[in-house]
Amino acid sequence: MKEPEQQQNVLWAGRLEEKPGAEAFAFQASIQVDRRMAAEDITGSRAHAAMLAGQGIIPPETAAALDGELARIGEELAAGTLAVDEGAEDIHSFIEGVLTARLGDAGRTVHAGRSRNDQVAVDLRLYLKTVVPRLRDELADTIQVLLDKAEEHAETIMPGYTHLQRAQPVTLGYHLSAWSCALDRDRGRLADALVRLDECPLGAGALAGSTLPLDREAVAGALGFARPTLNAMDSVADRDFALECAGALSILMVHLSRFCEDIVLWASEEFKFVDLAEAWSTGSSIMPQKKNPDFAELIRGKSGRSIGNLVTLLTLLKGLPYAYNKDLQEDKEALFDSIDTAAACLRMFRGMAASAVFNPRRMKAACAGGFLEATDAAEYLVRKGLPFRRAHEAAALVVRDCVAAGQKAITQRTLAELKTRSALFEADVYAALEPEACAAARKLPGGCAPEEVRRQIRELRRRTETPAG
Ligand code: ARG
């Protein structure tokens, strides 16, 4: 970076005669991080300039020149014909610097009634208004992949687990529908965050508003915000919107991490519930036989970044006196990393999940031998009129009888043997205790019966296909 140009881009050169050395200047600069908000910075400046003209603060010709040049800078940056000056302090200084270099005094009018404190706040909110809906779309696409698999496997019996011990027979479709519910809430959380961040901080200035007759309503409307923020000091001190987005993304990443933990287990030789596609696996540099679920592991690992970023943001704000402090510049690196991480992980998870081949035979086999039907035996007796606690005890005694006799399932006992534990057992108990019957009997809303899972799938599809859903 050429020295003179850098000095030109320093917006505060008038006050300080001495400048930080190159290393110190680079230390306090944020251009490498905030350059991704160039388009938003330009959008914000165009709206601000139009408003300044509308209020008679700058002449209409000046506003027209600013608007045209800002648009051109935006196009040139997008086309790559204008390179971001990496020696600039931040994206705001860089763009104002280019504007002034090209327009002279007209360029010098744009910052009237504005501070980089409200400018960076508006840029970040605009950026999130663009990016968060994209993340919601990534989520919707991921949910659709899971629901396609869920539909395919609405009748595929597998063990449901508690304490990682086989608990009750469910279906794979049910398990995948459960995952989809979690991602559906993530979409909702991001939508909620968008509602609250939909206020425009422009006009807040450094912290106290402006003596100029700015029209905050007009600029908020022009930028597509629902309204201007209520209090200028709050506008420049607040990063709740960043926290909310980072929080929602941390929760999302924790969800993906848990799904991936299931997948890593399922891909093991011990479970063999799933065969991951070769293209979504990696080998070992030493062990020739290996096919590792690295993508699932890495997504699980990357959830740590998102949690770390959230903690970074919370820590950043915790001791911060009102209003703006330079500490806040650190917000973007953490938030952007959470956004990039979530977007990449959703895409990778989707590819891995879409190409995964499940093994219904192994899943069904895992339902045998662990007395997963014991709860059903107890509920069978409840249906015949026995109080639940007695039914639970009778079923438990039957399980003990089986274990003592080396039997693997309640249905291996004769009816006469069953009747020694409860006279209410009848011949129809055998059909009721098949794993498929156990799953199919759970028809109530939220249950794992195939037709109920299909209803859940339809509802989740409806939510993700509704534009505002
Ligand atoms: N680069 C700064 C940030 O990201 C912009 C605001 C700087 N304001 C200031 N008074 N130093 O927060």
Would the CB of 66 count as within 6 Å of ligand 1? Answer: no
Tens digit of each residue's pLDDT (9 = 90 or more) over 108-159? 999 999 999 999 999 999 999 999 999 999 999 999 999 999 999 999 999 9
Both 95 and 125 in one domain: the answer is no
Both 239 and 283 in one domain: the answer is yes
Both 215 and 293 in one domain: the answer is yes
Would the CB of 117 count as within 6 Å of ligand 1? Answer: yes
- Kindly give the number of the ligand 1 atom that is closest to the alpha carbon of 29: 1
Q: Which residue in 281, 284, 338, 355 is the catalytic one?
A: 284
Please name every residue paired with 292 in a beta bridge, in sequence order, or none if there are none.
282
Would the CB of 2 count as within 6 Å of ligand 1? Answer: no
Would the CB of 229 count as within 6 Å of ligand 1? Answer: no
Both 276 and 137 in one domain: the answer is yes
321, 355, 389 — which closes off a domain? 355
Would the CB of 124 count as within 6 Å of ligand 1? Answer: no
The DSSP secondary-structure symbol of 1 reads -
Do 158 and 174 touch, CB atoms closer than 8 A?
no
Look at residue 372 and tell me if it is in a domain: no
Look at residue 30 and tell me if it is in a domain: yes
Q: What span, in angstroms and rounded, lies between the C-alpha atoms of 25 and 87?
A: 9
Would the CB of 120 count as within 6 Å of ligand 1? Answer: yes
Low-confidence ranges of the chain (pLDDT < 50): 1-8
Both 332 and 317 in one domain: the answer is yes
The boundaries of the domain holding residue 107 are 5-112
Both 248 and 277 in one domain: the answer is yes
pLDDT of residue 350: 98
pLDDT of residue 1: 37
Look at residue 295 and tell me if it is in a domain: yes
Catalytic residue list contains 284? yes
Look at residue 106 and tell me if it is in a domain: yes
pLDDT of residue 15: 77
Both 106 and 133 in one domain: the answer is no
Residues sharing a CB contact under 8 Å with residue 413, sequence separation 6 or more, in sequence order: 398, 401, 402, 405, 407
Into how many domains does the chain fold?
A: 2
Both 125 and 213 in one domain: the answer is yes
Residue nearest to atom 2 of ligand 1 (CA): 329
Q: What span, in angstroms and rounded, lies between the C-alpha atoms of 172 and 160?
A: 9
Both 125 and 44 in one domain: the answer is no
pLDDT of residue 278: 85
Both 100 and 145 in one domain: the answer is no
pLDDT of residue 282: 85
Catalytic residue list contains 111? no
Look at residue 447 and tell me if it is in a domain: no
Report how far apart, in Å, the C-alpha atoms of 447 and of each of 156, 217, 308, 417, 452 are: 15, 50, 36, 31, 6
Give the CATH number, domain containing residue 124: 1.20.200.10
Q: Which of 40, 326, 327, 336 to mutate to test the pocket of ligand 1 (most atoms within 8 A of CB)?
A: 326
Give the CATH number, domain containing residue 41: 1.10.275.10
355, 374, 397 — which closes off a domain? 355
Measured in Å, residue 301 CA sits from the centre of ligand 1 at: 32
Backbone angles phi, psi at 160, to 5 degrees: -90, 145
Both 133 and 188 in one domain: the answer is yes
Measured in Å, residue 408 CA sits from the centre of ligand 1 at: 68
Look at residue 429 and tell me if it is in a domain: no
Look at residue 262 and tell me if it is in a domain: yes
Both 50 and 90 in one domain: the answer is yes
